[in-house]
Amino acid sequence: MSIGASAVRGNHEDRVLAAATRDRQKEHQKDEHAKSVAKSLSKSQLKWLAERPVILHVGQLGHLPQLSTEQKHHKDGKKKKGGNGDEEDEGPQQPWNPLNEVVVVHGGLVPGLDLEKQDPWAVMNMRSLIYAPSYNNNNNNNGHNNGHNNGKDDDKEEEEEVPIPVDSTDDGEPWSKAWSRYQNHLPRSSSHDTSKKTIVIYGHDARRGLQVDPHVDITPYFQKQKGSNKKGNRPKKERGIRYAFGLDSGCGHGKKLTALVINLPVTTTTEGGQGEIKHEIVQVGCDDMSTGDDAQ
Protein backbone atom coordinates (compact mmCIF):
# COMPACT_ATOMS: atom_id res chain seq x y z
CA MET A 1 0.00 0.00 0.00
CA SER A 2 2.65 2.51 1.03
CA ILE A 3 4.68 2.11 -2.18
CA GLY A 4 1.68 2.57 -4.46
CA ALA A 5 1.96 -0.85 -6.08
CA SER A 6 -0.86 -2.32 -8.16
CA ALA A 7 -2.27 -5.80 -7.63
CA VAL A 8 -5.12 -8.05 -8.72
CA ARG A 9 -7.73 -9.90 -6.71
CA GLY A 10 -7.28 -13.67 -6.79
CA ASN A 11 -9.17 -16.59 -5.29
CA HIS A 12 -7.44 -16.29 -1.91
CA GLU A 13 -8.07 -12.55 -1.63
CA ASP A 14 -11.69 -13.16 -2.58
CA ARG A 15 -12.05 -15.69 0.24
CA VAL A 16 -10.46 -13.31 2.74
CA LEU A 17 -12.86 -10.55 1.73
CA ALA A 18 -15.78 -12.98 1.92
CA ALA A 19 -14.72 -13.93 5.44
CA ALA A 20 -14.36 -10.28 6.42
CA THR A 21 -17.84 -9.39 5.13
CA ARG A 22 -19.37 -12.77 6.02
CA ASP A 23 -20.50 -13.31 2.46
CA ARG A 24 -22.05 -16.76 2.89
CA GLN A 25 -22.30 -17.32 -0.86
CA LYS A 26 -18.52 -17.16 -1.23
CA GLU A 27 -17.24 -18.03 2.22
CA HIS A 28 -15.87 -21.53 2.74
CA GLN A 29 -17.41 -22.93 5.92
CA LYS A 30 -14.10 -24.44 7.09
CA ASP A 31 -11.75 -21.78 5.69
CA GLU A 32 -10.14 -20.90 8.99
CA HIS A 33 -7.03 -19.54 7.27
CA ALA A 34 -9.04 -16.91 5.36
CA LYS A 35 -10.90 -15.95 8.54
CA SER A 36 -7.62 -15.61 10.41
CA VAL A 37 -6.12 -13.39 7.70
CA ALA A 38 -9.27 -11.27 7.55
CA LYS A 39 -9.13 -10.66 11.31
CA SER A 40 -5.47 -9.64 11.09
CA LEU A 41 -6.11 -6.88 8.55
CA SER A 42 -7.07 -3.32 9.43
CA LYS A 43 -10.09 -1.58 7.93
CA SER A 44 -7.86 0.42 5.59
CA GLN A 45 -6.09 -2.75 4.45
CA LEU A 46 -9.40 -4.52 3.78
CA LYS A 47 -10.63 -1.46 1.89
CA TRP A 48 -7.48 -1.46 -0.24
CA LEU A 49 -7.86 -5.19 -0.92
CA ALA A 50 -11.52 -4.80 -1.89
CA GLU A 51 -10.58 -2.11 -4.41
CA ARG A 52 -8.18 -4.38 -6.30
CA PRO A 53 -9.43 -5.25 -9.81
CA VAL A 54 -9.95 -8.79 -11.02
CA ILE A 55 -8.21 -7.76 -14.27
CA LEU A 56 -5.36 -5.25 -14.08
CA HIS A 57 -5.12 -3.45 -17.41
CA VAL A 58 -1.50 -2.33 -17.84
CA GLY A 59 -2.17 -1.08 -21.37
CA GLN A 60 0.01 -0.72 -24.44
CA LEU A 61 3.77 -0.90 -24.01
CA GLY A 62 4.36 2.10 -26.24
CA HIS A 63 3.52 3.75 -29.53
CA LEU A 64 4.42 1.98 -32.75
CA PRO A 65 7.92 3.22 -33.61
CA GLN A 66 9.51 3.81 -36.98
CA LEU A 67 10.91 0.29 -36.96
CA SER A 68 14.32 -0.39 -38.39
CA THR A 69 14.91 -3.39 -40.66
CA GLU A 70 16.45 -5.30 -37.75
CA GLN A 71 13.44 -4.59 -35.54
CA LYS A 72 10.98 -5.66 -38.22
CA HIS A 73 12.74 -9.00 -38.38
CA HIS A 74 12.48 -9.31 -34.63
CA LYS A 75 8.79 -8.45 -34.68
CA ASP A 76 7.68 -10.62 -37.58
CA GLY A 77 10.11 -13.49 -37.15
CA LYS A 78 13.86 -13.86 -37.35
CA LYS A 79 15.24 -13.95 -40.90
CA LYS A 80 17.96 -16.14 -42.36
CA LYS A 81 19.44 -16.62 -45.80
CA GLY A 82 18.00 -19.54 -47.74
CA GLY A 83 19.84 -21.76 -50.19
CA ASN A 84 18.94 -19.48 -53.10
CA GLY A 85 20.06 -16.36 -51.25
CA ASP A 86 16.53 -15.23 -50.41
CA GLU A 87 15.49 -14.48 -46.85
CA GLU A 88 13.45 -17.12 -45.07
CA ASP A 89 11.40 -16.75 -41.91
CA GLU A 90 12.75 -18.79 -38.99
CA GLY A 91 9.51 -18.39 -37.08
CA PRO A 92 8.06 -16.17 -34.35
CA GLN A 93 10.24 -14.51 -31.73
CA GLN A 94 8.88 -12.30 -28.93
CA PRO A 95 5.41 -10.81 -28.23
CA TRP A 96 6.61 -7.38 -27.10
CA ASN A 97 5.30 -5.30 -29.98
CA PRO A 98 4.60 -1.74 -28.72
CA LEU A 99 1.01 -2.01 -29.97
CA ASN A 100 0.22 -5.05 -27.86
CA GLU A 101 -1.85 -4.74 -24.70
CA VAL A 102 -0.70 -6.21 -21.37
CA VAL A 103 -3.10 -7.40 -18.67
CA VAL A 104 -2.53 -9.16 -15.35
CA VAL A 105 -4.88 -11.72 -13.79
CA HIS A 106 -4.61 -14.30 -11.04
CA GLY A 107 -6.25 -17.25 -12.80
CA GLY A 108 -6.89 -16.82 -16.51
CA LEU A 109 -9.00 -15.51 -19.38
CA VAL A 110 -11.24 -17.07 -22.03
CA PRO A 111 -9.87 -16.43 -25.55
CA GLY A 112 -12.09 -14.36 -27.84
CA LEU A 113 -14.22 -12.96 -25.03
CA ASP A 114 -14.06 -9.22 -24.34
CA LEU A 115 -12.42 -8.35 -21.02
CA GLU A 116 -15.57 -6.73 -19.65
CA LYS A 117 -17.52 -9.94 -20.38
CA GLN A 118 -15.12 -12.29 -18.58
CA ASP A 119 -16.62 -14.08 -15.58
CA PRO A 120 -14.94 -12.86 -12.34
CA TRP A 121 -14.93 -16.35 -10.79
CA ALA A 122 -13.20 -17.75 -13.87
CA VAL A 123 -10.63 -14.94 -13.97
CA MET A 124 -9.68 -15.66 -10.34
CA ASN A 125 -9.86 -19.48 -10.40
CA MET A 126 -9.52 -21.02 -13.86
CA ARG A 127 -6.61 -23.23 -14.89
CA SER A 128 -8.03 -25.11 -17.89
CA LEU A 129 -10.72 -25.00 -20.56
CA ILE A 130 -13.07 -27.83 -21.45
CA TYR A 131 -15.18 -27.66 -24.58
CA ALA A 132 -18.89 -28.32 -24.96
CA PRO A 133 -20.89 -28.33 -28.21
CA SER A 134 -23.34 -25.49 -28.70
CA TYR A 135 -25.52 -24.38 -31.59
CA ASN A 136 -25.19 -20.65 -32.18
CA ASN A 137 -26.23 -18.28 -34.93
CA ASN A 138 -23.09 -16.99 -36.64
CA ASN A 139 -24.46 -13.46 -36.72
CA ASN A 140 -25.29 -13.33 -33.03
CA ASN A 141 -22.37 -14.56 -30.95
CA ASN A 142 -22.49 -11.73 -28.37
CA GLY A 143 -18.85 -10.89 -28.96
CA HIS A 144 -17.68 -14.38 -28.03
CA ASN A 145 -15.49 -15.68 -30.83
CA ASN A 146 -13.57 -18.72 -29.67
CA GLY A 147 -11.74 -19.26 -32.94
CA HIS A 148 -13.84 -22.20 -34.14
CA ASN A 149 -16.06 -20.10 -36.39
CA ASN A 150 -15.20 -20.78 -40.03
CA GLY A 151 -15.92 -17.21 -41.05
CA LYS A 152 -19.28 -17.97 -42.65
CA ASP A 153 -21.81 -15.16 -42.67
CA ASP A 154 -25.01 -17.09 -43.32
CA ASP A 155 -27.87 -17.28 -40.84
CA LYS A 156 -27.65 -21.03 -40.31
CA GLU A 157 -27.04 -22.37 -36.86
CA GLU A 158 -23.83 -24.37 -36.72
CA GLU A 159 -22.32 -26.49 -34.00
CA GLU A 160 -19.27 -24.91 -32.39
CA GLU A 161 -17.20 -25.77 -29.35
CA VAL A 162 -17.74 -23.36 -26.47
CA PRO A 163 -14.87 -23.08 -23.95
CA ILE A 164 -15.86 -23.58 -20.31
CA PRO A 165 -13.39 -22.47 -17.59
CA VAL A 166 -12.55 -25.00 -14.85
CA ASP A 167 -10.10 -24.82 -11.95
CA SER A 168 -8.76 -28.34 -12.52
CA THR A 169 -5.55 -29.28 -14.31
CA ASP A 170 -6.80 -32.81 -15.02
CA ASP A 171 -9.40 -31.96 -17.68
CA GLY A 172 -9.33 -30.11 -20.98
CA GLU A 173 -6.35 -28.01 -22.07
CA PRO A 174 -4.45 -25.22 -20.31
CA TRP A 175 -6.29 -21.95 -20.94
CA SER A 176 -2.89 -20.31 -21.57
CA LYS A 177 -2.25 -22.61 -24.54
CA ALA A 178 -5.65 -21.72 -26.02
CA TRP A 179 -4.91 -18.03 -25.39
CA SER A 180 -1.56 -18.12 -27.20
CA ARG A 181 -3.13 -20.04 -30.09
CA TYR A 182 -5.90 -17.46 -30.43
CA GLN A 183 -3.46 -14.52 -30.36
CA ASN A 184 -1.14 -16.15 -32.91
CA HIS A 185 -4.05 -16.64 -35.30
CA LEU A 186 -5.34 -13.06 -35.14
CA PRO A 187 -5.15 -11.43 -38.60
CA ARG A 188 -2.51 -8.83 -39.35
CA SER A 189 -3.48 -5.21 -39.86
CA SER A 190 -2.84 -3.87 -43.36
CA SER A 191 -1.70 -0.48 -42.06
CA HIS A 192 1.32 -1.61 -40.04
CA ASP A 193 1.60 -5.28 -41.02
CA THR A 194 0.83 -6.25 -37.45
CA SER A 195 -2.17 -6.61 -35.16
CA LYS A 196 -2.83 -5.49 -31.61
CA LYS A 197 -2.71 -8.56 -29.42
CA THR A 198 -3.07 -9.10 -25.70
CA ILE A 199 -0.35 -10.50 -23.45
CA VAL A 200 -1.55 -12.01 -20.16
CA ILE A 201 0.61 -12.38 -17.06
CA TYR A 202 -0.90 -14.78 -14.52
CA GLY A 203 -0.29 -17.11 -11.56
CA HIS A 204 -2.48 -19.73 -9.82
CA ASP A 205 -0.96 -22.85 -11.41
CA ALA A 206 1.77 -24.28 -9.21
CA ARG A 207 1.27 -27.79 -10.62
CA ARG A 208 2.20 -26.73 -14.17
CA GLY A 209 4.83 -24.37 -12.79
CA LEU A 210 6.71 -21.58 -14.50
CA GLN A 211 5.48 -20.98 -18.07
CA VAL A 212 7.76 -18.42 -19.71
CA ASP A 213 9.43 -20.06 -22.73
CA PRO A 214 9.14 -17.64 -25.70
CA HIS A 215 7.78 -20.35 -28.01
CA VAL A 216 4.84 -22.56 -27.07
CA ASP A 217 2.86 -25.47 -28.49
CA ILE A 218 -0.37 -24.03 -29.94
CA THR A 219 -1.64 -27.22 -31.59
CA PRO A 220 -5.47 -27.22 -31.60
CA TYR A 221 -6.95 -29.22 -28.74
CA PHE A 222 -7.91 -32.79 -29.61
CA GLN A 223 -10.73 -34.18 -27.51
CA LYS A 224 -11.09 -37.93 -27.73
CA GLN A 225 -14.70 -39.07 -27.71
CA LYS A 226 -15.69 -40.99 -24.59
CA GLY A 227 -16.09 -44.72 -25.14
CA SER A 228 -14.21 -44.59 -28.43
CA ASN A 229 -10.96 -46.43 -29.10
CA LYS A 230 -10.36 -44.58 -32.35
CA LYS A 231 -7.54 -42.07 -32.41
CA GLY A 232 -9.31 -39.86 -34.94
CA ASN A 233 -7.65 -37.22 -37.08
CA ARG A 234 -5.32 -35.45 -34.71
CA PRO A 235 -4.47 -31.87 -35.72
CA LYS A 236 -1.05 -31.04 -37.11
CA LYS A 237 1.40 -29.85 -34.47
CA GLU A 238 1.98 -26.12 -34.43
CA ARG A 239 4.23 -23.75 -32.48
CA GLY A 240 3.91 -20.02 -31.99
CA ILE A 241 4.76 -17.03 -29.81
CA ARG A 242 3.78 -17.19 -26.14
CA TYR A 243 1.15 -14.61 -25.19
CA ALA A 244 0.39 -15.93 -21.68
CA PHE A 245 3.20 -15.93 -19.09
CA GLY A 246 2.62 -18.10 -16.01
CA LEU A 247 4.64 -17.01 -12.99
CA ASP A 248 3.46 -19.48 -10.33
CA SER A 249 6.70 -21.16 -9.28
CA GLY A 250 5.48 -22.62 -5.98
CA CYS A 251 6.39 -19.78 -3.60
CA GLY A 252 3.58 -20.74 -1.22
CA HIS A 253 5.05 -24.23 -1.03
CA GLY A 254 8.58 -23.13 -0.17
CA LYS A 255 9.97 -22.90 -3.70
CA LYS A 256 10.50 -19.59 -5.53
CA LEU A 257 8.73 -16.28 -6.10
CA THR A 258 8.96 -15.16 -9.72
CA ALA A 259 8.70 -11.72 -11.32
CA LEU A 260 8.55 -10.85 -15.00
CA VAL A 261 10.28 -7.50 -15.52
CA ILE A 262 9.50 -5.64 -18.74
CA ASN A 263 12.40 -3.43 -19.80
CA LEU A 264 11.21 -0.53 -21.92
CA PRO A 265 13.84 1.02 -24.23
CA VAL A 266 15.51 4.26 -23.19
CA THR A 267 17.53 4.71 -26.37
CA THR A 268 16.69 4.87 -30.05
CA THR A 269 18.24 3.00 -32.93
CA THR A 270 20.65 4.60 -35.39
CA GLU A 271 17.81 4.65 -37.92
CA GLY A 272 15.56 6.69 -35.66
CA GLY A 273 13.33 3.90 -34.36
CA GLN A 274 12.54 3.07 -30.77
CA GLY A 275 14.74 0.46 -29.09
CA GLU A 276 13.67 -3.11 -28.55
CA ILE A 277 11.32 -4.07 -25.70
CA LYS A 278 12.61 -7.05 -23.73
CA HIS A 279 11.75 -8.92 -20.55
CA GLU A 280 13.66 -10.81 -17.90
CA ILE A 281 12.70 -13.32 -15.21
CA VAL A 282 13.79 -12.64 -11.61
CA GLN A 283 13.37 -15.16 -8.76
CA VAL A 284 13.89 -15.25 -4.99
CA GLY A 285 13.49 -18.11 -2.50
CA CYS A 286 10.39 -18.52 -0.31
CA ASP A 287 9.40 -20.06 3.01
CA ASP A 288 6.79 -22.83 2.94
CA MET A 289 3.44 -21.21 3.82
CA SER A 290 1.11 -23.76 2.21
CA THR A 291 -2.20 -24.44 3.94
CA GLY A 292 -3.07 -27.58 1.99
CA ASP A 293 -6.15 -26.07 0.31
CA ASP A 294 -4.52 -25.03 -2.95
CA ALA A 295 -1.98 -27.71 -3.78
CA GLN A 296 -2.41 -27.16 -7.50
Q: Which of 109, 112, 113, 124 is nearest to 53 (CA)?
A: 124
Confidence of residue 224 (pLDDT cuts 50, 70, 90): low
The average pLDDT across 208-221 equals: 93
Phi (first) and psi of residue 37, to 5 degrees: -65, -45
Residue 54: name the closest of 117, 101, 3 by CA: 117
Please name the residues in contact with 84: beta carbons below 8 A apart, sequence gap of 6 or more.
Answer: none
Distance CA 183, CA 199 (A): 9
Confidence of residue 22 (pLDDT cuts 50, 70, 90): confident
Q: Lowest-pLDDT range, 25-39, 121-135, 233-247, 274-288? A: 25-39
| pLDDT score of 253 | 86
45 to 21, 37, 53, 168, 203: CA distances (angstroms): 14, 11, 15, 31, 22
On the question of pLDDT at 122 being above 70, the answer is yes
Measured between alpha carbons, how far is 202 from 242 in angstroms, rounded to an integer? 13
Q: Which of 28-37, 65-74, 89-98, 183-192 has the lowest mean pLDDT?
A: 65-74
Residue 290 confidence class, pLDDT cut points 50, 70, 90: low
- Residue 248, judged by CB atoms within 10 A of its CB (0-12, 13-18, 19+), counts as buried
Q: Cα–Cα distance between 36 and 255 in angstroms, integer?
A: 24
> What's the mean pLDDT when you consider all of the chain?
78
Residue 62 in this model has a pLDDT that exceeds 60: yes
Distance CA 160, CA 207 (A): 30
Between residues 92 and 165, the one the model is more confident about:
165
pLDDT at 96 over 90: no
Taking the model in full, what pTM does it have?
0.76
Task: Calculate the alpha carbon distances from 80 to 73, 84, 87, 91, 238 in Å.
Answer: 10, 11, 5, 10, 20
- Name the maximum alpha-carbon separation found in the chain: 71
Nearest alpha carbon to residue 250 among 197, 219, 207? 207
Between 227 and 50, the more confident residue is 50
